[in-house]
Structure 1
Amino acid sequence: MLATLNKAKAFMGVSEEDDSQDLTILSALAAASAAIERECNRSFEHKLYRQTLDGSGTQFLRLRNYPVESVSLLKVDGKEEDADSFTIEPENGMLFRRSGWPQGARLVEVEYLAGYTLPSDETGAEPATLPENIQLACIMLAQILLRSPGVKSERVGDISVTYDEAGLPAVVKSLLRL
């Protein structure tokens, strides 16, 4: 998840000792984390990713997940490339290749280590590297979900419910810079 239970409880004014709402808050944090990753079209977790990409026809190729720590495998049109044939721009997930990337569907296969260390309440956990604005966006979205479960309208006669599909609230988008 993109935020911890303890941080969410502190933000929401819930005592750390009060565990009566923990399951509800954790569920909202999980839903908020999934919605943010879906909206951003990327995963934030630090792990090994594998992607097959279309060749861009330019010198730059964007990977979905970043920051990129390293590339362990790069194949272009089925041929493995040397590590010195490209450079990584870690913060924006770009691979630069002076000779350019070929243009075409599904020509580039990449395996790479990328992402952030996610926050954790576990004792001895590695310190989080996920930016604070993303953690805050997750907590704020979870709080919004807890207040309003997304029902846009209801009708009792012949029972009808309409759900709001407007996407993320503006305050969350601004924290994510979408």
Structure 2
Amino acid sequence: MTQEIEIEYKNLLTKDEYERLLYNLSFPEHSQAQTNYYFETTDFALKNSGCALRIREKNDEYRLTLKEPHKDGLLETHDSLTEKEARDWMQGNIIAKTNTTTQLKKMGVSPESLDYYGSLTTQRHELEDKEIIIVLDYSTFNGRADYELEVEAITQEIGIQAFESLLKEHHIQKRDTPNKIERFFQTV
């Protein structure tokens, strides 16, 4: 099964903080676009279980990802989709995929009960530095926009140390930061 543990630390940024980090760190000049398409049941069964389901379109590839709570971060389960399958999902023609369907059924959620709620588009800058990846995101969704710093790491210890160091070094206030799908659903 295609699964991985995601360990990341996030902080919402002001536009000025975002631009300062973009200028002061060695990010590539150009960002990479990606769009997340979000799915949920009408009774929010995924959210109520601390889970999220999305299709990510990036570089003309489509990947279905179910995120579930895990003691070390988030357990991500993936399936590849064709463009047609992704479009079918968004039109309500859900095609069950092996890995994510297995996990959904463990939660008592059938793929047929899922509805498409909308999308969030991100311009992403990524910088790999030893055991971490530093990410700057500018996201737009439902008439809103926000800026975010993410630090992805191979361990919690490395991640939190790098994250807190970045905030301190660049004089950025630590903020409670819901993940993108939570911020998206706050606007639906």
For this structure pair, what is the TM-score category when the shorter chain's length is used for normalisation? under 0.3
In our comparison, the structure showing a higher alpha carbon Rg is 1
Normalising by structure 1, we get a TM-score of 0.25
Which of the pair is proportionally richer in strand?
2
